[in-house]
A and B are shown apart, each in its own frame.
Chain A
């Protein structure tokens, strides 16, 4: 103790000495005597000194670390010295015992902190601790949420906060934060905690590593409002923090009107991509809001700019609404059509690998997992595979039993393949049908697994799966061509119970047939009953009708009447022979259609048309039927069943032939998965009904455009299509401008495939000398084998290459390929 006071005495004397020494001390740890050391201290300058007993061996590891810290600390203007406590020059900093040596931090000659050597366990700890001590005022260490809130509140409208959590003081992350604080400490309030609970209380999840938040408090004027927070997603490292803070400083959103290729912002310099949201005058406000939202989401990951299309001289593809430019020099600008802001974000995130490239750990997340089932049918069948089905309700046929069975009884046969998802999905509907029909049907429900009885299926001309055939009365089997579902197949089976056409023998029977009495139970499945009237000598016409009836079997009831007294019927219904009577049971009407000289196809056409409704409810099952008419659909969206008034109005319009070029229909939003089909500016939650108008692929006279599908929409009120208003007037207004055009994109492969050709090429080019194995001598074989296995394992590690033959450049997977390519280069 006495000796140390003596030392202080001497400090002032050797002032000049110190200056000289300071210069020469660059890079390596200087060793000084206490006296000399104190003489070097400069006012206001920080200095770290390790006092140790001369030639103490136990300190060597620490000294190594300290030695390493010299350079970085000098960068912060902190000098480092090792002070040897020699006997003649004892200092109070020299501990008495060898193991109690300490490190001291001085500013000028004022002692700031003393550190036991074990807290300074490595270079990171040394720097972190030293800076932490020096930046005591700039970096606030807190332990409770309250502290944080107090700081936040006090800084609202004044300054932003850089808040970080590190697991412990002295970690590399702590050092990174302190280094950042050294630079930015005066600009932002740095707040540090090691309390995991504090981090949890602000809603951070998955806290394993350090976190760095930026609290945007400066722009908060309302004190009750919370500061917006941005989390830095990169690992906590000095460079990342620097980059992060730089982007926080950059303007959130910039408006530009120049070539995206030419624009340069701080983001590019920092290696971050740029996202341009394409806007135009008309939608500027909305686009700006969108862009701002995106910008907040991408803060710290990419720069967001609003690109004004109108004042732009360069050409941007018509449909592109987002332009993406990667930071890499010379990387092409990508024009994208992204319809969801989420897609923009995921696109950016999928394309950002600044640090990740080195870290190499996000590899799995980045590459799409091609082994994920994205076929909904295959997926549901797979997930359902363990559910036991009552398969015993249907008869399984084999090569041996097939012929005997289908001859002995009228049978429905489902041909399926056990490995094929679509047919397995349908098998479930088939079993459901068997449950419904249990004990009621004369039709035997059977099935053949073509995975087992391949030859049988081939013989029955089944080469696709699934196929349903009906074998009846030893006649040619009839293939079922309806929807692969329980209801439609049930209808097919039930309607096939009677022959097509059914032979009617008396006028009374015919009347019963037309009234629906004759086949009462079948009427729910066939809204129309068709009766062909012929005089007995019209053989060709009868034949044609019979053929048509056969063709239509399973979808409608047909009957034929050709007795001598046929005139009674034809007179009653005002028909000229040969004629078709169409009895519509719902409406209780019978209409007659003459069809002299009609061929089979025409008859079929007449009947199928008769089955169509004028103003149908569109369902999953019947949409294809109405699309087949090749007319644009005029859809009335109804929130529940339809108001009869609307129906009446439409029917009037139809009657007056105003809707001839359209198929008017309505859609019950309660029953349908299509709550969203109307275009964007129609708030669907609002007033119903809404009209949507869809052009099919047919040239649509209504809007004059022919090639694109468009949605037009307007509300009922606006158009006042009621019986009171002249329908002409309503339609004269036209359909208005389409509010939206349906996307015309092709259905592309959802994911790339493995590019085995490239993998094989890569393997071949790596080992061009591999010769035919026969040539190798026996002794070499073992070695060779081993080598090949090694090769195999190295190949495994490389990023999997993927294949996308066409449009390679334009697709998203391009980056994937590019990435693996770069990766390869690196390894080579």
Chain B
């Protein structure tokens, strides 16, 4: 007799997302006499719930987390059944940059405390699930998050109230019959619907959630595993040594995540997922708010519908960022705190973008879902930098962030090449990488793409954008050529083309100049380039050292010096022409710059 292990989903048969949201029939009396009130209620103290709790706590909000189990991360006490996590724990990247390192840390939650990094909890590349439980425990404890353990929310009702933030309160009733009234409900319960199979003989199957993890139970048997996802392989690997045959059956081909760069696909023949999307995930908007009830947000694995099969929103290393984005949206909606942003003069634009594309982990992990936005100020003399905005909400940017986008904007998104991705495609095909800056748009690996819009796109434009496009058609687009080490700091290969793109979008000159050049421009021009205006004229010019000056002289920088002098003798000028501007200086070709390419 062979055992049928229906490899379904990981997920405790706990609270279902299919709430019965019955609007209460009678209007409740004034809040004072009602059930205890919280501004924010978080359901579930798994990674997503704790992550949200952390942000609420830091912002000093009134919140509580409700957890059925006596400790956080109960999912990981049971799953994965064979105790090995599939999320990598890369502890050394060769870099010190903590933000960058999160690109390779798939298990840590975001916090200000460097001790709360998962690498301090396990040294295994694929860590043990027990370490995750310990980690989550510590996370909740050390940060002092308000978690009500052993509290099972049995049901949730909607209570209409004009006073409420969202026009209604969520009334949660726990197993003891106590009611909790919440203004905002954040559901972070994970996924709890095992895939039910229904075919003749399905009664003989054993689900992943209950299958024995003891290989001895499979000694000398023939095993058929339905599904070829991560759970299936995990199960297969466990019993491989003791069975006669293992057959694996599934609707689709094996998808390896390094071929699809979707972490939900198999990574080195281990990993998860399958099942039917529509049944599995609740319907949420790009802002992670439920399409049905305002004020109800879905966090964590369950929010994966937003980027299913595209990005990492279903995993810790993805939803830790989306939780932050949701928190920022809520801060603005309910507390008038605009989306955090930094304002800089336009001379800092190139640097700001270069910095983010090189270190930002949220952009990298949630590529195509969260994107940075640069909002230009009038006349493009300054800009505001907004990080990790849910990019599908771009059209609603002004209402959801409280920032103004009247003078054009850039969106910085990370993208894979369109020709690269997909199961069954040989990702190691010849010529797959692009080395020339002018071919950057054909880059295949994850690389930064910068969109320039003169006006904020409308909802229509976002919705009906061309197929294959992450964003609506921009006024101009720039691809930064791919780099295997995701190091986009080459002066000529990466920064220079970016600067040229920004310059041409803004129709200005974004070069940097030494104080001496600015001095010269100040005496010979009515207007100065932004770098001189924003630096030199504010007595913050870049003086440069003797040796740099020498290097400069060798190159005759800027050429204007020489030509201005000579022009006088030509007498070519009519009075209108006036004396001459060293037109923005242009350099002679120089080979040494090519070296790096």
Contact = CB atoms under 8 A, between A and B. Distances in A.
Contacts of B529: 747
A806 interface: yes
Given A340-B566, A680-B567, A455 B576 contact: no
B547 to A, nearest CB: 7
Interface in B433-478: 436-442, 452, 473-478
B519 A620 contact: yes
B320 to A, nearest CB: 16
A778 B424 contact: yes
Interface string A363-398: 000000111111111111111100100000000001
B396 interface: no
A340 B580 contact: yes
B97 A382 contact: no
Interface in A475-493: 481-488
B450 to A, nearest CB: 10
Contacts of B358: 419, 451
Contacts of A287: 572, 574
Contact of B492 (A371, A426, A708): A371
Contacts of B426: 781, 785
A796 B439 contact: yes
A340 B569 CA distance: 10
A677 interface: yes
B571 A290 contact: yes
B253 to A, nearest CB: 9
A283 interface: yes
B548 interface: yes
Contacts of A399: 96, 98, 114
A487 B528 CA distance: 24
Contact of B512 (A421, A625, A749): A421
Identify the interface centre among A339, A381, A785: most chain B CB within 10 Å of its CB. A339
Contacts of A570: none
B88 interface: no
Interface residues of B, number: 124
A112 B581 CA distance: 65
Interface stretch (A61-69, A208-216, A668-676): A668-676
Given A375-B511, A754-B497, A745 B424 contact: no
Nearest to A278: B574
B431 A792 contact: yes
Nearest to B473: A757
B17 to A, nearest CB: 29
Contact of A377 (B514, B563, B568): B514
Given A279-B574, A781-B424, A417 B355 contact: yes
Given A627-B522, A680-B579, A803-B504, A375 B430 contact: no
Nearest to A482: B539
Contact of B574 (A280, A370, A454): A280
B587 A372 contact: yes
A675 B507 contact: no
A124 interface: no
B536 interface: yes
Interface string A522-566: 000000000000000000000000000000000000000000000
Residue with the greatest number of chain A CB neighbours at <10 A, chosen from B431, B440, B563, B579: B579
A339 B576 contact: no
A743 B351 contact: no
Interface in B535-582: 535-548, 551-552, 555, 557-558, 561, 563-568, 570-581
A455 B98 contact: yes
Contact of B419 (A398, A482, A483, A788): A788
Contacts of A370: 437-438, 496-497, 500
B137 interface: no
A748 B584 contact: yes
Contacts of B520: 673-674, 677
B530 interface: yes
A623 B100 contact: no
B593 A382 contact: yes
Contacts of A789: 429-431
Interface in B123-163: none
A382 B594 CA distance: 11
A95 interface: no
A697 interface: yes
A134 B186 CA distance: 100
B548 to A, nearest CB: 5
A428 B437 contact: no
Contacts of B224: none
B544 A485 contact: yes
Interface of B: 95-100, 114, 342, 344, 348, 351-352, 354-355, 358-359, 419, 421-426, 429-431, 436-442, 452, 473-479, 489, 491-492, 495-497, 499-501, 503-505, 507-517, 519-520, 522-530, 535-548, 551-552, 555, 557-558, 561, 563-568, 570-581, 583-587, 589-590, 592-594, 597
24 contacts: A290-B572, A319-B576, A319-B578, A321-B572, A344-B572, A370-B438, A371-B593, A376-B557, A378-B495, A380-B555, A381-B548, A383-B551, A454-B98, A483-B543, A681-B568, A741-B579, A743-B525, A749-B504, A754-B440, A754-B478, A756-B441, A757-B473, A803-B476, A803-B504
Given A371-B437, A379-B590, 16 more contacts: A279-B574, A286-B571, A287-B572, A321-B576, A377-B511, A378-B496, A422-B512, A453-B97, A454-B98, A463-B344, A464-B352, A742-B525, A743-B525, A750-B509, A774-B422, A795-B442
Interface of A: 277-280, 282-283, 286-287, 289-290, 293-294, 309, 318-319, 321, 337, 339-344, 369-384, 387, 398-399, 417-422, 425-426, 428-429, 432, 450-455, 463-465, 481-488, 620-621, 623-625, 627, 673-677, 679-681, 694, 697, 708-709, 711, 740-757, 759-760, 772-774, 778, 781, 785, 788-789, 792, 795-796, 800, 803-807
